[in-house]
A and B are shown apart, each in its own frame.
Chain A
Amino acid sequence: MNLEEYHGVWVFIEEQENTIAPVSLELLGAGRQLADKRGVELAGVIIGSQVTTLASTVFEYGADVVYVYDQPIFKDYRTESYMKALLHCCETYKPEIILFGATSTGKDLASAVATDLPTGLTADTTELDVEEDTGLLLASRPAFGGNIMATILCKKYRPQMATVRPKVMKALEKEPGRTGKLIEEQINIKEDDIRTKVLEIVRATTKKVRIDEADIVVAGGKGLGSAEGFQLIHRLAETLGGAVGASRDVVEAGWIEHHHQVGQTGVTVTPKIYFAIGISGAIQHLVGMKNATMIIAINKDPDAPIFEACHYGIVGDAFEIIPLLVEQFSRAIAKEEVNHVGEV
């Protein structure tokens, strides 16, 4: 393999119903830095049906080039069809780095493509850097259940691939009117070539506050004692208009569903305020919330590790503190609203 033939940093652009996934925009931000350090182009790859119009957004968030595979067969995400398009693109244009969001789609596609190429793939990356002269990607990630951080390299194969956790990288400010080179490609692929069919897509109808998008997350842990005790977390979250988060032990105990789990095997959140209540602060939990702007911890054990990871700590009993918080906040918020009405 002649490594010199491979140039440029690519981001796989994940799209759903004509909206680009936030993680893809974050990766364009991260990819821009890598590309600038290397002095190479940043490209986005879009695969889908009626998706060419999305290219303008990809340029506005930092791409120099956009490759588009816009064919009806790509209407639904399917590993086999998307993989064929991406492999075609790799063979034709030979990138040195490809980044994917570590989402179900991104991980699925990246694993298949890496096997076929073949090349190395680093999963769930949280830090990215590149060696200026060699183009070697330094992809770092938590490993062994978050007990260590490891930097993974892929020296002898190209492209170098990584899936990257959502909410860890930063998207650039949108630059309206910024454009680049649009390259439209097609592959020859028939429905009969694909062995899977999407029969139905069922979207969750209840539009709850999404925990990964919330400004305030109130998270509770095993310290709440029981499913009933955990209701206090819901009450505080409601008062503040925030989303409910949980530690893994709470999810395992069945007090709340898995999609509320924050941490390494749950979601990563970056709210403005994160309450960690009755949560010990295991490293696997911390990796999922440590980038919150303000972390407030409440725990009755003064030695709980969470106090080393918070901005403000209260040593106390959740059953005493939460009701006080609910009461005080309700009062303060009511007052605020009155003020607003007064201003109008």
Chain B
Amino acid sequence: MLHIIACIKQVPDTKIIKMNPKTNTMDRASAPAILNPYDAHAVEEAVRIKKKYGGIVSVLTMGPPPAVKAIKKCIEIGADEGYMISDRRFAGADTLATSYALTKALDKIQKSRPVDLILCGKMTIDGDTGQVGPGIARRLDIPPLTSVKKVESVHQEEGHIIVHRKIEDGHEVIQSTLPCLLSVEKEINEVPYSSFPNMIKAARYDPVIWSVDDLEDVDIKQLGLKGSPTIVAKVWAPPKPEGGKMLEGSPHDQVDQILSVILEKKELFQAKGGS
């Protein structure tokens, strides 16, 4: 039986978030907290693998107490178990400190049920890095496979998996030993609407929640802000573009004006003429 873990994060919906123009900080209250959209695909893929090969899907998150909601969302998608690590001492973590804390939680989960496969999203929409997945893989010393757009087959008996990795101009087919970690692209699957039974299960579900003290062999210096080599020194609003010339007149006049501006750059079209 496969044990698959998806790492998931609750994030502010940065698509609709409002910024405080004076301080350049986010007005968190202006944006609902959602399950990181890329992570929904990781959970869905885990559920699909489970349906095909049998197994159990757990999800793991590090976040503040309200992040329980993101775990419930994963239960709706079809995950079986949820784990959350939550503690003030985790706060302010960059990708290095995040992968450290999540690895400590994975170590603990593995004690009772060894993990065959870890799935992460391509990236979070608040951190935007995609670095946490490979970080976890290195810390656990298992192969990291990023940009995965298809899981071809899982061979638990033989101890390997075959996946497709997206590359700049196509894809490569990779075989990796198990356990390994996949960061999945959004195109790997479509997340369907949740089924009614799963919604009921989610509503009643309480995840396992651990603090730092519940984890073993933790070096406090590697956690949170203290354990983060990167520091945000300055934030500013992206420069506002100045805006250009609005063309006047009828649609015909406007198109004529565009035409004459562009034809001044006619070198662009000459390649087509075979010169």
Interface residues of A (CB under 8 A from B): 16, 21, 76, 79-80, 103-105, 107-108, 110-112, 114-116, 118-124, 138, 141-157, 195-204, 215-216, 240-241, 258, 264, 272-273, 283, 286-287, 290, 294-296, 307-316, 320-321, 324-325, 328-329, 332-333, 336-337, 340
Contact = CB atoms under 8 A, between A and B. Distances in A.
Contacts of A145: 14-15, 17, 125-126, 128
Nearest to B25: A148
30 contacts: A21-B168, A79-B134, A111-B131, A118-B96, A119-B96, A123-B95, A123-B128, A123-B129, A124-B129, A142-B128, A147-B17, A147-B238, A148-B237, A152-B230, A155-B231, A195-B176, A196-B177, A204-B170, A241-B271, A283-B238, A294-B262, A295-B244, A308-B242, A310-B241, A310-B243, A312-B261, A313-B244, A321-B254, A325-B255, A333-B272
Given A120-B230, A195-B180, A115 B139 contact: yes
Interface string B138-167: 110011111100000000000000100111
Nearest to B139: A115
Contacts of B17: 144-145, 147
Given A80-B143, A145-B126, A157-B229, A105 B167 contact: yes
A267 B251 CA distance: 31
* Chain B interface, >50% SS class: mixed
Interface in B257-274: 257-259, 261-263, 265-266, 268-274
Contacts of B112: none
A147 to B, nearest CB: 5
A196 B175 contact: yes
B117 to A, nearest CB: 14
B130 interface: yes
A171 B242 CA distance: 27
Nearest to B256: A328
A286 B243 CA distance: 12
Contacts of B168: 16, 21, 103-105
A30 to B, nearest CB: 19
A337 B254 CA distance: 24
Contact of B99 (A115, A195, A203, A314): A115
Contact of A321 (B229, B242, B244, B255): B255
A241 B272 contact: yes
B269 A313 contact: no
Contact of B138 (A112, A138, A152, A273): A112
* Chain B interface bracket (under 10, 10 to 19, 20 to 34, 35 or more): 35 or more
Contacts of A308: 240-243
Given A148-B237, A333-B269, A120 B229 contact: yes
Contacts of B134: 79, 108, 111-112, 115
Contacts of B137: 112
Nearest to B178: A195
Closest A-B pairs by Cβ, 6 of them = A145-B14, A120-B229, A111-B134, A120-B230, A123-B129, A309-B241
A154 B230 contact: yes
B167 A143 contact: no
Contact of A151 (B147, B162, B177, B233): B233
Contact of A144 (B96, B126, B270, B271): B126
A310 B244 contact: yes
Contact of A154 (B143, B231, B236): B231
A202 B170 contact: yes
A330 B261 CA distance: 16
A337 B174 contact: no
- Of the candidates B147, B168, B261, the one having the most CB atoms from chain A within 10 angstroms of its own CB is B168
A63 to B, nearest CB: 23
B167 to A, nearest CB: 6
B187 to A, nearest CB: 6
A199 B271 CA distance: 39
A290 B171 contact: no
Contacts of A120: 94, 96, 228-230
B206 interface: no
B268 A215 contact: yes
B255 A115 contact: no
Contacts of A316: 251, 254
A144 B13 CA distance: 9
Contact of B146 (A108, A156, A198, A199): A108
Contacts of B218: none
A329 B268 contact: no
B24 interface: yes
Contacts of B130: 107, 111, 123
A97 B243 CA distance: 37
A115 B138 contact: yes
A146 B139 CA distance: 30
Given A111-B144, A147-B26, A313-B247, A199 B162 contact: yes
A12 to B, nearest CB: 15
B1 interface: no
Contacts of A104: 146-147, 165-168
A270 B266 CA distance: 18
B235 interface: yes
A340 B273 contact: yes
Contacts of A156: 229
B172 A290 contact: no
A273 B238 CA distance: 22
- Of the candidates A76, A152, A320, the one having the most CB atoms from chain B within 10 angstroms of its own CB is A152
B187 A79 contact: no
Nearest to A325: B255
B232 interface: yes
Given A144-B126, A145-B128, A332-B259, A198 B172 contact: yes
